[in-house]
Amino acid sequence: MKILNKIQKELKAPKGQVNKFGNYRYRSCEDILEAVKPLLGEAVLTISDEIVQIGDRYYVKATATIKEGDESVSSVAFAREGLEKKGMDVSQITGSTSSYARKYALNGLLLIDDTKDADTKDNRSAEPTIEIESEAFAKANEAIQNETDTKALTKLKTDIAKSVKLTDDEKRSLIEIADTKIYG
């Protein structure tokens, strides 16, 4: 799809938000959408959410789709609602989880990389932040979603279990997602 290729090459989505607690800059779903709109031309970009249960946990499954004529390409990302988040009611927790899943679905579709690089070191603390762990989660989840071979999925599970970039909760969640894909 030519328009997607063009957008992936030309998109500049600056990190317009600041996390004062972690002392780093990040881009939100809204930042990405504002940056991509001028590049869409006649193409249509949609994002949808669905609540899915995997094992005993609920996830927001976000799907970002770009469509031009009869062609479409989609990317999916999952985010799990926390049981509670200080200062948020239940609807705010779901909303923030949706925004997070949508951001990573857009990242996958538009080839946006949120990892630390030389251009952003001055915007980050020296200590690892949750965004780095979350990016590792998003990448591992994307690998699971794109894999169809059972043996490869089993190897992914082993790699996830050994990862130092993922929290124990993220590892458990990713292994559950892989198991669901393997065993149905």
Strand ranges in the chain using DSSP code E only, listed in sequence order: 17-19, 24-26, 44-54, 57-68, 71-80
Q: How is residue 181 written in tokens?
A: 């894909």
Kindly report the number of other CB atoms within 10 A of residue 102's CB atom. 24
Tell me, what's the pLDDT at 119? 37
Q: Which of 102, 122, 142 is the last residue of a domain?
A: 122
Give the chain's domain count.
Answer: 2
pLDDT of residue 67 exceeding 70, the answer is yes
Contacts of 91 (CB under 8 A, 6+ apart): none
pLDDT digits (tens, 9 = 90+) for 132-179: 335 777 788 888 888 888 899 889 888 888 888 877 777 877 887 887
Q: What percent of the chain has pLDDT over 70?
A: 84
Residue range of the domain that includes 162: 128-184
Give the mean pLDDT of 46-75. Answer: 91
28 and 97 inside one domain: yes
Give the integer Cα–Cα distance in Å for 140 and 157.
9
Kindly report the number of other CB atoms within 10 A of residue 178's CB atom. 23
CB 138 within 8 A of CB 104: yes
pLDDT digits (tens, 9 = 90+) for 96-133: 888 889 999 999 999 987 664 333 444 443 333 323 33
135 and 74 inside one domain: no
33: DSSP letter: H
Give the mean pLDDT of 33-51. Answer: 95
